[in-house]
Amino acid sequence: MLSGAKILITGVLNRHSIAFATAKRAQELGAEVILTGFGRTMRMTERAAAQLPSTPVVLHLNVDSDEDIASLQSSISARWGELDGVLHAIAHAPADALGGRFLTAPRQSAIAAFQTSAYSLKGLVAGLLPLLRAAENGASIVGLDFDASVAWPAYDWMGVAKAGLEAVCRYLARDLGPDRIRVNLVSAGPIETLAAGGIEGFDDLAAAWSESSPLRWDPRDPTPIANAACFLLSPLAAATTGEILHVDGGFHAIGARRSLRMCGPEGGGR
C-alpha cells in the first residue's frame, strides 16, 4: 500500500524505536525511505539503518535549526524532487522538566521541551513544503504522540509539549488541506525505547498499562504503532486529517484499572 512512496523517517535511534519499526514496515510495503540522524546519535542511526531490509541514506537534521531543515530540503530535492510522507518522531525535554519536577522546572527547560517536541512539527513541515506539494497524489505527515488529554505521573512538561503537538497537528491540517497534505498523529501506548528509559516511573506506567488495557499491550513491541503510522501515510487514509489515532490497547477508553472494585447501590462489590 506504499508502493513507490518516498518517505522521510526521523527519530530512528536503534532497532527498538518506533521510528525504526515504521521504516521497516514502510519498506516492506514498497516505500523508499530516507532517515535523519543528529549529533552524537548519528552513528547509532547509521547502524540501525544497516539493519533495515534495504539500507537507506541517513541525512543530518537538528530539527531546531532552520539551516539544517533547509539543507535537508535541498538534499531530498536533489535525490527525489518530491516527498510523499514524513514521520515526525522527535521529542525531547531536559531532565529538570520531567520526573515530578513540574513546579520547579525552569522557564527555559519548558520552552526547550515545547520547541523540540511540538513546534518542530510545524518547522519541519514548513521547510519541506515545496517537496510535499510536489507529491503527485498528495502527501501525508504523521507524528508520534502520547495522550495529552490527562496528566501523567512524571511526564510533566513533556505532557504539556504533547498537548501543544496535538494543537499544532490540527492547525497544520487546517492550513495544508488545500494542498492535499494530510496531518495526523498516532497516540501510542508506552514502548520500551531509549527515550522512555530516561523517564522516571516509566516501568510502573508500562506495567499498569499491560494490566489494564482491554487488548493485550506489549511495551516491547512497536509493530502495531508502525502499522498504524503506515496506514496514515498511505492512500488508504486519503480523507483523514487532523486526527489522533490511539494505538494503545484501548487504555485511553478505560476510566479505572481493572483491579479497582466498584460498589453497587447496596454497597456490595460488583
Active site residues: 155, 162
Q: How far is CA 75 from CA 32, 34, 71, in A?
A: 15, 11, 6
Please answer whether residues 171 and 125 qualify as being in contact, where contact means their C-beta atoms are separated by less than 8 angstroms.
Answer: no
Q: What is the 3-state secondary structure (H, E, C) of 87-102?
A: EECCCCCCHHHCCCCC
Q: Which residue has the cell 487488548?
A: 215
Cβ proximity of 72 and 59 under 8 Å: yes
- The C-alpha angle with vertex 92 and arms to 14 and 62, in degrees rounded to 5, equals 75
H or E stretch including 107? helix 107-114
Give the start-end residues of each E strand in the chain: 6-9, 32-37, 57-60, 85-88, 139-145, 181-188, 244-247
Exposure of 108 by Cβ count < 10 A (0-12 exposed, 13-18 middle, 19+ buried)? exposed
Residue type at 141 in one-letter notation = I
